[in-house]
Amino acid sequence: MAVATLLLPSCSRLAGQRWSAPVARALGRADRSPASAPGERQQLLRHFDLLPRGWPAAALTRQQDADDAYLSAWVRADPVYVRPDINGARLLAHGEGMQLGIEDVEALLPALRPMFGDTGFPIDAPSPQRWYLQLPKEVRLPTFAEPADALGADLFEHLPGIDQCTSPEGRRWRALLSEAQVVLHNHPWNAQRVAASKPPVNSLWFWGGGVLPDHVSSKHRHVHSDDDLLRALGLAAKTQVASLPAQFAMTNEVALFDLRRARDVAALSRDWLEPALSALLHGRLGSLRLDAEDGSGFVLERRQRWRFWRKPLSSFDV
């Protein structure tokens, strides 16, 4: 029997909005999932098993981008915008927010290559948004913060190796970051970006370090997502990966749908939950699972329609 799992953002991001009546009724009658660890990484690890344990995001996306990740260890060195303020500096833009194109790679990467090449960590960019450092497999790496966790926060609290700043590894990566910031801050290309109302590329963000896992598995047969890391996990697990459709559509399979960017409860109700509930009611879907980034979740099944005594859950307000 088909099973569909919808990945949702944290419930707090959907608070203050009301579900449609059919969805509110179904959520009120649903079973709550046991509380799980919050965060993007933990949410994805609920659906993918990596051996050995770890979170080598750079190697996973590198394999998707260039099909050569098995050769080395990898660290993402993504271009970002950092803005100084009275208390230090804050990470304000990363990924799509940087509005990067191939012309940015061609302008900025040559200035960085000598510095990283001298260190023995060559840098390249198979995608304008995803830049990589290639490292020996045996290299020791400090703890790196993911950009999503640092966005808008005090930069000092998330610097690479900040919890290991007295170690050689921590000091080395912080020195590399400082050198890269000097090169980028002085680069004339950023003046053109600012003139075009784009954020300057004045820093890099190191994250996702590690080697390609020996084995990645998932209970899902299909993964529907436009997120690069989730698609890379799906490919590593040998699932069928496709873009996210405009609305719910289910075949007789076990499928994962990535709705973590959703913010409009009305659209979620209309395009996703109501069609899925209809599939449940008519027996085309055996189970519908909702997994939120904050670790909460619901399991919806056809038999729950008889729970008349339960009140509807009209919103995620808490």
174-207 tens-digit pLDDT:
899 999 999 999 999 999 999 999 999 999 999 9
pLDDT confidence band for 63 (50 / 70 / 90): very high
Which carries the bigger pLDDT value, residue 113 or residue 157?
Answer: 113
Q: Does an H or E element contain 105, and which?
A: helix 102-119
pLDDT reading at 252 higher than 80: no
317 and 33 Cβ atoms separated by less than 8 Å: no
Considering the domain architecture, whether residues 68 and 158 belong to the same structural domain is answered as yes
Q: What is the pLDDT of residue 151?
A: 86
Phi first, then psi, for residue 223 (nearest 5°) are -125, 125
- The reply to whether 228 falls in a domain is yes
What domain range is 170 assigned to? 57-210
Domain presence at residue 316: no
Tell me if the pTM is above 0.85: yes
| Boundary-marking domain end, from 157, 180, 210 | 210
Of 38-47, 61-70, 109-118, 136-145, the poorest mean pLDDT is in 136-145
* Same domain, residue pair 75 and 99: yes
Q: Same structural domain for residues 71 and 189?
A: yes
| Residue 313 resides in a domain | no
Same domain, 132 and 260: no
Considering the domain architecture, whether residues 69 and 197 belong to the same structural domain is answered as yes
The answer, yes or no, to whether residue 55 has pLDDT greater than 90, is yes
Query: Which residues, listed in sequence order, are joined to residue 240 by a DSSP beta bridge?
Result: 222
Within 10 Å of residue 309's Cβ, how many Cβ atoms? Answer: 7
Indicate whether 165 pLDDT > 50.
no
| pLDDT computed for residue 210 by the predictor | 95
CA distance 313 to 315: 6
Say which residue, 253 or 157, is predicted with more confidence: 253
Report the C-alpha gap between 172 and 118 in whole angstroms: 13
Q: In the chain, how many domains are there?
A: 2
User: Are 277 and 296 within one domain?
Assistant: yes
Per-residue pLDDT at 255 exceeds 70? yes
Residues 203 and 259 occupy one common structural domain? no
- Indicate if 68 and 193 belong to the same structural domain: yes
In this structure, the answer to whether residues 96 and 222 fall within a common structural domain is no
Lowest mean per-residue pLDDT among 16-30, 73-87, 291-305: 73-87
Helix (H, G, I), strand (E, B), or coil: what is residue 81? strand
Q: Where residue 148 falls among pLDDT bands split at 50, 70, 90?
A: confident
Picking from 210, 243, 262, the residue at the C-terminal end of a domain is 210
Residue 157 binned pLDDT confidence (cut-offs 50, 70, 90): confident
Residue 166 lies in a domain: yes
Question: Is residue 7, in this structure, part of any structural domain at all?
Answer: yes
Instruction: Give the residue from 182, 210, 238 where a domain finishes.
Output: 210
For residue range 256-280, list pLDDT tens digits in order.
999 999 999 999 999 999 999 999 9
- In this structure, is residue 311 part of a structural domain? no
How does pLDDT run across 113-137, given as a tens digit for each residue? 999 999 999 999 999 999 999 999 9
Whether 33 and 242 have beta carbons less than 8 Å apart is answered as: no
Q: Indicate if the alpha-carbon torsion angle 136, 58, 63, 117 is positive or negative.
A: negative
pLDDT digits (tens, 9 = 90+) for 1-52: 799 999 999 999 999 999 999 999 999 999 999 999 999 999 999 999 999 9
Q: Which of 136-140, 154-158, 212-216, 250-254 has the highest mean pLDDT?
A: 212-216
Torsion sign over Cα 269, 270, 276, 278: positive
Give the dihedral of Cα atoms 264, 266, 270, 275; nearest 10 deg: 80
296 found inside a domain:
yes
Better-predicted residue by pLDDT, 297 or 147 = 297
pLDDT band for 164, please (50, 70, 90 cuts).
very low
314 falls within a domain = no
One domain for residues 197 and 295: no
162 & 226 share domain:
no
Q: What is the mean pLDDT of the chain?
A: 93
**Residues 70, 177 within the same domain:** yes
